[in-house]
Structure 1
Amino acid sequence: MSTTGPTRPDPGPTSGFESVLDALDAERRARRAVMSTSADRAARTVREQVVEGRLRSGTRLPEERLAAAIGVSRNTLREALSQLVAERILVREAHRGVVVATPDADDVRDLYAVRLVLEPGALEHGTAATPAAVARVRDSVAEGYAAADRGDHAGIGDANQHFHRAVVSLAGSPRLDAQMDLLLAEMRLVFHRMGDPEAFHAPYLADNDRICGLLEAGERGAAAHHLADYLARARDHLLGELPA
């Protein structure tokens, strides 16, 4: 397996936002219907763009164009953006409006304080660890190895996000799933501050595989212990490389 090869060029915040607008508009047209005017739905759409790495720290979000791309009114979008500001995914800046947030070291410490409680707990004690749910964890591991084999570091990062989301889903709690979506959105913004954010994930592929293997073997306590150690190492890794 090779983890080297061409990486995706960084399009920068501005051009990245243009591609997000195009994708959102295409999705809306494909549905042949205007999206519900629910602010929660609009917030979830924008949040998912952050989780999947399409909206990056510092990207300004012009209301009129974003509302049109999603298919909601500007008032609905404003409500959605205010929700995301409260979630610390977006911030309001003087003379710029709403922009995607840029987390700092204190944010990293707080994010991992939550993750170290949430993820090992879901892994060890979750009541929804059905064969289908465990298979989703395995699928995310396979997704990461496949991305590594083709030298797609961004794909490794995506797969890692999917792995942690699948782990929390073992709890069978919609509330925890929603909380994990918020954490993953903030984590993606942390990774964007790294000098080589995609390559950061590659060393953890083997950890994901081992955790999944323990889960499949029914050794959930051991899997949770390994995950807690892994998260602590990842936190320290990030803090050691995060720009001042």
Structure 2
Amino acid sequence: MVRPRERTATLPAPTLTDLEPVNRESTAAIIARQLREAIMNGSLPPGTQLGETELAGQFEVSRGPLREAMQRLVSEGLLRSERHRGLFVIDLEPEDVRDIYAARLAIEREAVLRVLRGDPERVADLLAEAVRDMAAATDGAQVGEADIRFHETLVAASESKRLQRMARTLLIETRMCLSALRRTYSSDEERVTEHKRITEAIRIGDEDAALTLLEAHMDDAVRRLAPGSTLRSPAVSRPQT
């Protein structure tokens, strides 16, 4: 007598809801984050050479995770490798500065247009909070953080995931620029005024004024950071308000 073949129970394939979150950050990721922050806040200024021996001793790690962390920053464009010399924090050349702000202008211009089609008063209230924090700041780091938050808030208010994702990729280089930018203003009040004007133009729904002020704000930063450079082309320059 032939016995019927026994069926083997098939376990269901795991779904995303079955996967457990990984909370531990790798050593390389921690080192990369700390180096990234040091580059952003100016503790590791442009052109600084990173020595493996010194950093490994400072972090109290072997060279393996340190090298992995540094390669992450190379791939992010924050470190450059020079043959037979080592790794250096990138220098932002005038063309780099112009490129960063041209990309930011394209993203934030579209964000403004989307905000104006939605609830500009609500967004203006959020932007005004960042402006107030900028005015109340007592040091350059606080001014820079409020400045970044203003522009992050503007892009987030567009409710476009892609605009937000593109803006995030420019965040670190923008922070590097802001560190140098602050030294070009006679007072922080100038920066506060620029952001306040953009906020008020958005509040009243004045598209031409908001876009013109935003472009002027970005162009002014380029002129300050890279004298002789500009975002504007005479053929396409917007009228001033």
Query: Normalising TM by the smaller chain, what interval?
Result: 0.5 to 0.7
- Which one of the candidate residues 25, 39, 45 is aligned to 1:36? 25
Larger RCO, structures 1/2 (Cα 8 Å, 6+ apart): 1
Which of the two has greater helix per residue?
1
* 8 A Cα contact 1:112 1:235, kept in partner: yes
- Which one of the candidate residues 133, 137, 155 is aligned to 1:168? 155
1:51-105 CA distances to partner (integer Å, 9 max, x unpaired)? 3444321334445776798899854553443232233222123555333211111
TM-score when normalising by structure 1 = 0.64
Could you say if the C-alpha distance between residues 66 and 231 of structure 1 is closer, same or farther in structure 2, counting changes exceeding 3 Å? same
Distance 1:97 1:62 in 2: 8
What is the Cα deviation at residue 187 of structure 1? Answer: 3.0
Could you say if the C-alpha distance between residues 56 and 215 of structure 1 is closer, same or farther in structure 2, counting changes exceeding 3 Å? same
Percent of pairs with identical residues:
31
Larger radius of gyration: 2
* 8 A Cα contact 1:57 1:192, kept in partner: no
Alignment of 1:27-66 (within 5 A): 35-37=24-26, 43-63=32-52
Could you say if the C-alpha distance between residues 121 and 62 of structure 1 is closer, same or farther in structure 2, counting changes exceeding 3 Å? same
What is the Cα deviation at residue 128 of structure 1? Answer: 8.5
Alignment of 1:123-162 (within 5 A): 123-126=112-115, 134-147=124-137, 150=138, 152-162=139-149
Q: Which runs of 5+ in 1 are unaligned?
A: 1-33
1:19-49 CA distances to partner (integer Å, 9 max, x unpaired)? xxxxxxxxxxxxxxx9512866764554344
TM-score when normalising by structure 2 = 0.64
* 8 A Cα contact 2:120 2:203, kept in partner: no
Counterpart in the other structure of 1:213: 200
Counterpart in the other structure of 2:9: none
What is the Cα deviation at residue 232 of structure 1? Answer: 1.7
1:122-145 CA distances to partner (integer Å, 9 max, x unpaired)? 122258879876544222211110
2:99 partner amino acid? D
> How many residues get paired?
206
Could you say if the C-alpha distance between residues 132 and 125 of structure 1 is closer, same or farther in structure 2, counting changes exceeding 3 Å? closer
